[in-house]
Amino acid sequence: MSPLSQRILLCVPLLGWAVLLAGLWGLGPPLLIAVTLVALVLAAVHHAEVVAHRVGEPFGTLILAVSVTVIEVGLIVSLMLASQDTAATLARDTVFAASMIIVNLLLGLCLLVGARHKEEARFTRTGATAALSTLATLLVLTLVLPNFTTSVSGPVFSPSQLAFVAVFALVLYLTFVFVQTVANRDYFLPQGDLQFEPDAHAQPPSVQAARLSFVALITSLGAIVLLAKSLSAPLEAAIAAAGAPLALVGIAIAAIVLLPESLAAIRAAYANRLQTSLNLALGSALATIGLTIPAVAIVSFWLGLPLTLGLDAKGIVLLALTLFVAALSLARGRTTMLHGAVHLAIFGAYIVLTIFP
């Protein structure tokens, strides 16, 4: 990244706070707030990557994942506090939307772009299937199982069940991070050596650059949470005025949070680094559930907010189809453009059925 781009990203948090202060005086239109919010998310993830590169693995991965989770949880909690009538399903809609975006839209695009280099795009099967099996377990236990418990009525967990699932999700995610970065790191590396990874041996940033990025990261996260709260009412009003379902709020949150890592994954696939692309995509999905669900559960207990996690029948069918097709796509360690097209078709069905249920 050029020095000019780095300076701009260091100034984005200050711009965010300026827009926030202007909004307190009624001078911040919703469109400006939305654009600033997207810029802050991009800047925050960049600064988290700089700090993570300096710290190294496995703590670098955790720093990046925690930073993204703070953004997502901040957006969710801000909207939950702003509109408690629809707060119960917001976390579910956001996590489900993130899963559908990653496993269908992002994975489909990565497979299509990766296959442009040859008839079959190849990757390390063991790492991809391990990530997918972990993701499937987390999705089913958090989004499907609440529909079939009997301790309380409705698609919700009892407090003890929710506590167990939250702890279980966190432990399983941390176990995956340990396996990916320490115990079985070779399962998640490209086949052969690292010569195909131009960033594999990049020099870490200086201590001063890492400190500046850390300050900018904290500043960005604070501005994101506060701007999201100010944007919540106009966002819900716009969706209601359009006659669209409120589930689109969850899709909007997921899209904003996943934008930086999605762009990075597609760039990696375009550069014929499909393994790196899959690591980014599936790792994002795992962090979305493994860290967001525990964080939202803690907030729910602390503030007494309702939390509905169980999907409806339509969502369960789409989730089952998504996981089944993803298992087939990643089972052999090589894939074609057709696999990517199938995932994109499922995502298209998800969007259409969300808007026109």
User: What are the backbone dihedrals phi and psi of residue 288, each rounded to the nearest 5 degrees, phi first?
Assistant: -60, -40
Report whether 286 contacts 134 (CB < 8 A).
yes
Half-sphere CA count of 112, side-chain side, radius 13 A? 13
Report whether 229 contacts 82 (CB < 8 A).
yes
Q: List, for residues 159-197, the tens digit of each pLDDT value.
A: 999 999 999 999 998 898 888 877 777 777 765 544 444
CATH class of the domain comprising 3-355: mainly alpha
Q: List, for residues 226-277, the tens digit of each pLDDT value.
A: 777 677 667 767 777 777 777 787 788 788 778 777 877 787 788 777 877 8
Residue whose entry in the numeric block shows the structure tokens 């990244």:
1
Q: List, for residues 82-131, the tens digit of each pLDDT value.
A: 666 667 788 888 889 989 999 999 999 988 887 776 656 677 778 888 88
Residue 62: its pLDDT value, please? Answer: 65
Q: List, for residues 42-79, the tens digit of each pLDDT value.
A: 888 778 778 877 776 556 666 766 777 777 777 777 77
Residue 30: its pLDDT value, please? Answer: 76
Please tell me the pTM assigned to this model: 0.82
Per-residue DSSP letters for 249-264? HHHHHHHHHHHHHHHH
Residue 291: its pLDDT value, please? Answer: 85
Query: From CA 168, how far away is CA 162, in angstroms rounded?
Result: 10
